[in-house]
Amino acid sequence: MPAVQETIEQVRNIDVDQYKYGFESFIEMDKAPKGLSEETIRFISAKKGEPDWMLEWRLGAFRRWLTLEEPTWARVHYPKIDFQDIYYYAAPKSTPGPTSLGDVDPEILKVYEKLGIPLKEQEILAGVQKPTDDGEASDNVYKSGRVAVDAVFDSVSVVTTFRAELAKAGVLFMSMSEAIKEHPEIVRKYLGSVVPTTDNYYATLNSAVFTDGSFVFIPKGVRCPMELSTYFRINEKNTGQFERTLIIAEEGAYVSYLEGCTAPQRDENQLHAAVVELVALDDAEIKYSTVQNWYPGDKDGKGGIYNFVTKRGDCRGDRSKISWTQVETGSAITWKYPSCILRGDDSRGEFYSIAVSNGYQQVDSGTKMIHLGKNTSSRIISKGISAGHSNNTYRGQVSVNRRATNARNFTNCDSLLIGNDCGAHTVPYIEVKNSSAQVEHEATTSKISDDQKFYVMQRGIPEEEAIALIVNGFVKDVIQELPMEFAVEAQKLIGISLEGSVG
Amino acid sequence: MNIHSTPKLTAAETALIDAFGERFSELPGDATVAVKRDDAVEALKAGLPTRRVEAWHYTDLRRLLTNVPGYDSTLAARAKPALLAGSTVLPVLNGVSGAGASIDGATVTRLVDKLLDGSFAPALGPREPADTVGALNTAFVADGYFIDIAAGAEIAAPIEIQNVQAGGQTHSRFPVRVGQGAKATIVERQTGAGNALTSSISHLTLGEDAELLWIIVQDQPDGATCLSQFNAELAKGSRLTLFFMNAGSKLVRQEIRVRMPGEGADFKLRGINLLSGDTHCDVTMMLDHLAENTTSTEIVRNVANGAAKGVFQGQIKVAKDAQKTDAKMACNTLLLSDEAEFSTKPELEIFADDVACGHGATVTEIDRNHLFYLMARGIDEKTARGLLVKAFVAEIIEELEDEATVEVLEGILDDWFAEHV
Amino acid sequence: MLEIRNLHARIAESGVEIIRGLNLTVKAGEVAAIMGPNGSGKSTLSYVIAGREDYEVTEGDILYNGESILEMDPAERAAKGVFLAFQYPMEIPGVATMEFLKVAVNSQRKARGEAELKVPEFIRRVKEEAASLGIDFAMLKRPLNVGFSGGEKKRAEILQMKLLEPKLCVLDETDSGLDIDALKVVADGVNALRSPDRAMVVITHYQRLLDLIVPDTVHVLYKGQVIKSGDKDLALELERDGYAGLIGEAA
Ligand SMILES: Nc1ncnc2c1ncn2[C@@H]1O[C@H](COP(=O)(O)OP(=O)(O)OP(=O)(O)O)[C@@H](O)[C@H]1O
Ligand SMILES: [Mg+2]
C-alpha cells in the first residue's frame, strides 16, 4: 500500500532525466566480427565451447531464418533493421563467461551495484530487510534476500548466485551456456520443444544466435525454496542481445521466477530478441514475472531498445499451471505475446499485464491462450496506459480447440488514454470450436474521469499525484499478482514512466 | 509471411477471369466505367484474399469460393410478396431491374442507366486492396437501383429492394441518398432459388438530421454464395439503425462499412446470424467515428448449429477529433452442436482521449440457471433449450419499434428454428 | 473568512449560467446554512468554491481570508483549508481508502510546510476518528467509496474532514441517506469541529439537521442567487411554509 506514496515521491524527485539506469560503463569487450553469417554462428558456438549438436541446431535455424520475412502485422513502425550492422556477441574480456563471484571483474560488479542488484551472497544474507510494521518493503526485490540472481551482461552470464543452496534442494539454476555443457540431455529434450526453431522470424533468429540466458530445472515434487531471477543488462554499443531462457517444472514442482532488465541511454536503437520457454508437467506450477524497463528512447523518440520477444509456456501436464505477469514500461518498441498452450487436462493459464507507453514508445503486446485439453481455463487481465505520442496495442488470442471440452476463458482489457496525441488499441482474436466452452471477453477504453480527479484534488492532492493515484488504482488487479517487492518497484516505475504526461 | 510467389490461380479465380472476358462486351457502361472494370479485374488476377490478408483473417476466400456459375440470362427469377405489408417493392430479378416505381418524396432510377451514361463510374472500384467484394462487383455490376429521397420527406411505407436470384451469377448496386431531415425505412432482401453467386453493394448517404431504418434479410438457398457490402456515410445529427439477419447461403461475406463524419450522428447495428449445415458466414464491420459526440452501439447475436462456421469482425475506429465518442459493441454466440465454430475479432482503434468505448464478446452455452428455472416449471429440456435459444436472438428483434416488423422477423426466426434446430 | 461577491458561474461546456450574481459572507466561527429548492444551484456553488473545472466563473469573485481563490486549482484550495463534503462522493476503484487518506493528509501537510505524519501516528488517528463516527475500520481497506452504501459514503466524507482539519467546511446534503442514529453521529462529528477559527457552510433541505447543527445564519438560494438571509428561525419558517411565498416575493 505505501507504494502509491512512493510512486508519488518518485515522480516528484525525478526531473529531466527520467530513466535512471541509462548510465554507460566502459568495460573492455571481446566481440564477434560485426554482421550475421554462418561464420558468426560458428564463432559464438566455439566461444561457448558447445557440442556439435548445438551448432547444427543453430545453423539449421539460421538457414531457415534466411528464408523468412520480417513480420508486419503488429502495429509498430520502425526503419528496417540492418542485421549486418549488429554485433552478435560481446563478452567482457575480463569475465568471458560464468564464473564464481570472486572472479568477476570488479567493474562489472560495480555496474550491478549501481543498478541495485546485489550479487554477493554473504552481504545479501546479512542485509535481509524485515518488512516494516505497516508492510513497507525494501525498495528492490533483489535486496530482499530471497532471490537468486543470474546476471547476464550483454552476451554472457557472469555469475549466478545461490547455486549451491539451490542444488541442495535439487534445483538446477545456471546460465544456458553451462546447462548445454553440464546437462545436455535435459537441454536437448526441452530446448525448442515449446518455441520451435521454425516458430517466427525473431525466434528463429534467436535460435541461431542466442548467446546466454537462464536455465531452471525443478525436479519432481520440489517447491523451489527461493525466488529465481535473471537480470539482463545491455551495455555494449551496437550489440544485440539474444537470450534464451528455459524453465522446466517436473511433476508437482513449483517455481516463481522474475526477470528484470535495463540498458544505457543511447541515440541508436538496439535490438533485443529473446526466447523464453516454460514447460510444466503434471501438477506443476510456474509463475513468471517481468518488469521490463529497457531504455525507452528520449522524449523525441530517439534511441531505445527494440524488444522483440517470444515467450511461451507449455502446460504439458494435467493440472499444470503457468502464469505470466508483466509490467512493461520500457523499450522503444515492444513486440511480445507471452502465451500458454493448455495441453494437459485441467491445466490453467494466466496473463496479467500492465503496459505503459509514453513519449514515442510503441507497444504491441498481449497473449495467446490455446485450449487443447479438457477442463482447461485461462484468465487474461490487461491494463494499457498510453500517454505522450505513444501507441499501445493489446493483441490477444483465445482459441478453444474442438477437443477442449469445458474450456473456460475470461478476458478483461482496459485502456486508459492520457492526452490527445496517443493511441490505444485492442485487437482480440477469439476462436471457439467446442460448444461447451465459456468464453467471455470485455474491453473498455476511457480517460481518467474528471470527477475522480476533482475529488482527489479537492482533498489537497496535486494533479500529477492525483493522476498517479488513480492510475495505480487502475492497475491494481495486475500489481496484486506480482511478488510483493516487485510490486513496489513496478508501481514506482509506472509513476516514472508517466512523468510529464500531464499537460 | 514466407516467400511471396505468384500463386497459381484456382479454378474459381480462373472462372471469374474467363467470365469477364466473355461478358465484358455485354456489360453496360461508357468508357469511364469500362476502365474501372478493367482495373478491377486486374486486381482480381492477383488472386482472391487468403487469411494472411488481415481483413479476411477468418475467411480464406481463395479456398472457400468454389461456386462460380456462369451468368445465364435465360434463368427466370420471380418477384416475391413484400416482407412488410404495404411496402413499395423494387425488384432486381436475376440481376435485372424492373421499371422502377414511383414513390412520393423519392425518385427511383435504374442503375443500368447510370452505368450507361457513366455518371456512376466515380463510385466504382475497390476501396482498398483488400476490398475484394468491391473489385468483383465493379468488374461485373450490371444493374440495381438508385433511390433518392428528398429533403424533409417522410416516407411511411417501407421501400423494399428485392434482389432475387435464379441460380446464375449476378452483381448489383444500390446507391441511396437520403436528404436532410428525411425519414424512411428500407428493406434489402437477398433471396431467391438455385446456387447463385451474388455480389451486392449498397451505398447510403444520410443527410443532416435524417433518420433511417435499414433492414437486411438474407435467406438464400443452402448452396448460394452471397458477397455483400453496405456502405454508409452519416451527416451531422443523422441517425441510422441497421438491422440484419442472415439465415441462408453456403458462403456469406457481409461487409458493413460506416463512416460518421457528422457531429452528433448515431449508428445502431443489430444483427442476427442463424447458421446451420456447412455454412460459412462472415460479417465484418468497419466503423469510423470521425466527429465529436458521435455515438454507436452494435449488438450481434449468433446461433450456430451443424458444422457451421461463423465469423464476426467488428472494428471501431475513433479519430483524434472525435472527442466524446461513445461506442459500445457486443457479440454473443451460442454454439448448439459439436461441430459448429465461431470466431470473433472485436477491435478498437482509438486516437481521442475523451471517449467511452468498449466491447464485449462471449461464446457460451445456455445459462444453466435459466434452463433449470424453465424445467422446474415442467418444461422438458429440449423445449426449454429451444425457448431460451430463440429468446437469445429474439431480444434483438424486439428492439425494433414497429410491431408488424417484429412479427414478420420473428416469423423468419420461427421458420429457421423449425427447420434447423 | 469567505466572501462571495456578485458571483456568476456557468457550465463550461454548455455555457448555461447557474449562479447568477450571488453574494454571501461567512465569518470565521460561523455556521451558515444554505437552503433552497432542488436545482437552485447549491451544489454548483459548492463546486465553484472548491474549484471544479466544469464550471466557469464569468463575473464576481470568491475571497477566502481576503484573498481571491479563483485562480487556484482544487488541490491548492484544499491545502489552504477548503473542504467539500460531496453530495455524491466519487468512487475510485483500486485505491484503498486508507492509502488515499494518508496521501491526502500528507500532501496537505507538505503543501503547508509541515512534516509528514508517521505511519503509526496516522493509523492511530484514523482508528480513533473512525470509531467516533461508527465506521468499521475494515471498510477503510476497501477501495475508496466503491460499493459503500449511501450512508457509509457520507460518514467517510466526515471522517476525511476530521482528519484533514480544514478551515472552511462546505457540507453538501451530508444528511441525505443517513439513518437517524447516523445523523446524530455525523452531527456530533461536525459540532466537534466547530471553533472560532473555522467556518462552515451547511447545505441541507431539512430542519432535522439544523436541530443538531444549529446555524448562526440561514440563506435561501433560488435560481443562483441568495434571495433571503436570516437567523436560524428562517429555517423553521421554511420548514413550516415552504419556499412558495419566498419565491413569490422574489419574483
Ligand atoms: N454539468 C451540468 N450540466 C448540465 N446541467 C447542470 C450541470 N451542473 C448543474 N446543472 C444544472 O444546474 C442546476 C443547479 O444544479 P445543482 O446541482 O447546483 O442544484 P442543487 O441546488 O444542488 O439541487 P439539489 O437540491 O437537488 O441537490 C440544475 O438545474 C442542474 O440540472
Ligand atoms: Mg445538490
pLDDT for B256 = 98
H, E, C per residue of A330-397: CCCEEEECCEEEECCCCCEEEEEEEEEECCCCEEEECCEEEECCCCCEEEEEEEEEECCCCEEEEEEE
- Of C75, C90, C92, which is closest to A460 when you measure between CB atoms? C75
Please tell me the predicted confidence (pLDDT) of residue A217.
97
Binary contact (A4, C95; C-beta < 8 A): yes
pLDDT for A18: 64
Grid coordinates belonging to C140: 477503510
Q: Apex CA A421: angle with CA A263 and CA A417, to 5°?
A: 80
* From C86, C96, C143, residue closest to A455, measured CB to CB: C86
Give the number of A-C residue pairs with CB atoms closer than 8 Å: 103
Query: Which is higher by pLDDT, B191 or B374?
Result: B191
Helix, strand, coil % over all residues of chain A, rounded to 5: 25, 35, 40
Evaluate: CB of C11 within 6 angstroms of ligand 1.
Answer: yes
Give yes or no for a contact between C179 and C129, defined as CB atoms under 8 angstroms apart: no
- Smallest CA–CA distance from A68 into chain B, residue: B2
Distance (angstroms) between ligand 2 centre and the Cα of C41 equals 7
Q: Which domain holds residue C117?
A: 2-250
Residue whose grid cell is 467488428: B314
Cβ separation A460–C104 shorter than 8 A: yes
Asked if C94 is an interface residue toward chain A (Cβ–Cβ < 8 A), one would say: yes
Q: Name, of A25-34, A111-120, C54-63, the range with top average pLDDT.
A: C54-63
Q: How many CB atoms lie within 10 A of CB C250?
A: 13
Ligand nearest to the CA of C45: 1
Evaluate whether B162 touches B124 at the Cβ level (below 8 Å).
Answer: no
List, for residues B112-139, the tens digit of each pLDDT value. 999 999 999 999 999 999 999 999 999 9
| pLDDT-based confidence at residue A118 (cuts at 50, 70, 90) | confident
Predicted confidence (pLDDT) at residue C178 exceeds the cutoff of 80: yes
For chain B, give the mean pLDDT: 93
pLDDT of residue B6: 55
With 90 as the cut, is the pLDDT of residue A498 above it? no
- Span C9-26, average pLDDT: 94
pLDDT single digits (tens) B279-308: 999 999 999 999 999 999 999 999 999 999
Cell numbers linked to A10: 518518485
Judging contacts by C-beta atoms under 8 Å, the chain B residues touching residue A425 are 347-350
- Other Cβ atoms less than 10 A from the Cβ of A85: the count is 12
Identify the nearest ligand to the CA of C16 by its number: 1
Mean pLDDT of B33-38: 96
The rounded mean pLDDT for chain C is 91
Burial class (CB in 10 A: 0-12, 13-18, 19+), B328: middle
For chain A, the average pLDDT equals 86
How distant is the Cα of C79 from the closest Cα of chain A, in angstroms? 5
Closest ligand (CA of C221)? 1
**What is the pLDDT at residue C251?**
63
Rounded to whole angstroms, how far apart are CA atoms A457 and A467?
Answer: 9
φ/ψ of A298, rounded to 5, equals: -85, -175
Chain A positions in Cβ-Cβ contact with residue C94 (cut-off 8 Å) = 472-477
C164 with A460: Cβ contact below 8 A? yes
How many CB contacts within 8 angstroms connect chain A with chain B? Answer: 125
Q: How confident is the model at residue C180 (pLDDT cuts 50, 70, 90)?
A: confident
Burial class (CB in 10 A: 0-12, 13-18, 19+), B168: buried
- Would the CB atoms of A134 and C104 count as touching at under 8 Å? no
Residue the block writes with cell 472525435: B322
Of all residues in chain B, the percent with pLDDT exceeding 90 is 83
Partner-chain contact C92 A455, CB within 8 Å: yes
In this predicted structure, what is the pLDDT of residue A7?
40
Widest pairwise Cα distance in chain B: 70
From A488's Cα to the closest Cα of chain B, the distance in A is: 28
Q: A465 in contact with C at a CB cutoff of 8 Å?
A: yes
Q: Answer yes or no: do C103 and A472 touch at CB < 8 A.
A: no
- Would you call A440 and B343 a contact, using CB atoms and an 8 Å cutoff? no
**Distance from C-alpha of B254 to C-alpha of B245, rounded to nearest angstrom:** 11
Please tell me the distance from the alpha carbon of residue B186 to that of residue A402, in angstroms, as a whole number: 40
Residue whose C-alpha cell is 498510453: A386
How many whole angstroms from C153 Cα to the centroid of ligand 1?
20
CA distance A134 to chain C (A): 7
Nearest CA to ligand 1 atom 1: C11
Sign of CA dihedral A442, A448, A450, A456: positive
Instruction: Tell me whether A100 touches chain B (CB under 8 Å).
Output: no
Give the pLDDT of residue A261.
79
Q: For chain C, how many structural domains are there in total? A: 1
What pLDDT does residue A367 have? 97
Q: How far C198 CA sits from the closest chain A CA (Å)?
A: 17
Q: Is the shortest distance between the CB of C66 and ligand 1 below 6 Å?
A: no
Q: How many Å apart are CA A135 and CA C98, to the nearest integer?
A: 13
**Chain B contact present for A440, CB below 8 A:** yes
Report, as an integer, the average pLDDT of C112-127.
Answer: 89
Residue of A nearest to B349 (CA): A425
Provide the pLDDT for residue A143: 55
Q: Which residue stretches of A160-211 are H helix?
A: 163-168, 176-182, 184-190, 201-209
Kindly give the distance from the C-alpha atom of residue C90 to the centroid of ligand 2, in angstroms, as a whole number.
14
CA of residue B311 to ligand 2 center, whole Å:
49
All cell numbers assigned to C190: 461536525
Average pLDDT over residues B378-385: 77
Q: Above 70 in pLDDT, residue B399?
A: yes
Q: What ipTM score was computed for the predicted complex, to two decimals?
A: 0.89
Least confident of A156-160, B185-189, B280-284: A156-160
Sheet with C217-222, strands from edge to edge, namely: C82-85, C168-172, C199-203, C31-35, C217-222, C225-230
| Closest by Cβ to A473, choosing from C93, C102, C107 | C93
What is the tens place of the pLDDT at every residue in A119-150?
766 555 544 433 333 333 344 555 555 688 88
The residue whose CA is least distant from atom 13 of ligand 1 is C39
pLDDT-based confidence at residue A298 (cuts at 50, 70, 90): confident
pLDDT at res. A128:
40
Which of these ranges, A157-166, A185-194, B147-156, C161-170, has the smallest mean pLDDT?
A: A157-166
Pocket flag, ligand 1, residue C224 (CB < 6 Å): no
C88 within ligand 1 shell (Cβ under 6 A): no
- pLDDT bin (cut points 50, 70, 90) of residue A159 is confident
A13 to chain C, any CB pair closer than 8 A? The answer is no
Which residue(s) pair with A370 in the sheet? A341, A399
d(CA C72, CA C51): 7
Q: What is the pLDDT of residue B124?
A: 96
Contacts with B279 (C-beta within 8 Å, 6 or more apart), sequence order: B222, B248, B249, B250, B251, B252, B306, B308, B309, B310
- Label residue A6 by pLDDT band (50, 70, 90): very low
Q: How confident is the model at residue A315 (pLDDT cuts 50, 70, 90)?
A: very high
Number of the ligand 1 atom closest to the C-alpha atom of C87: 27
Q: Give the pLDDT of residue A122.
A: 57
Confidence class for position B388, pLDDT limits 50, 70, 90: confident
More confident site: C65 or A123: C65
> To 10 degrees, the CA torsion angle through B401, B405, B406, B407?
140
Q: Determine the distance in angstroms separating the CA of B249 from the nearest CA of chain A, rounded to an integer.
A: 21
Ligand 1, atom nearest to C54 Cα? 1
The whole-number pLDDT of residue A129 equals: 38
CATH number for the domain spanning C170: value is 3.40.50.300
**Is A256 part of the contact surface with chain B (CB cutoff 8 Å)?**
no
DSSP of A57-108? HHHHHHHHHHT------SS---PPP-GGGSBS-EEESS--S---GGGS-HHH
Q: Does C123 touch chain A if contact means CB atoms closer than 8 Å?
A: yes
Q: By mean pLDDT, which of A131-135, A205-209, B150-154, B358-362 is the weakest?
A: A131-135
Contact yes or no for A473 and C74 at CB 8 A:
no
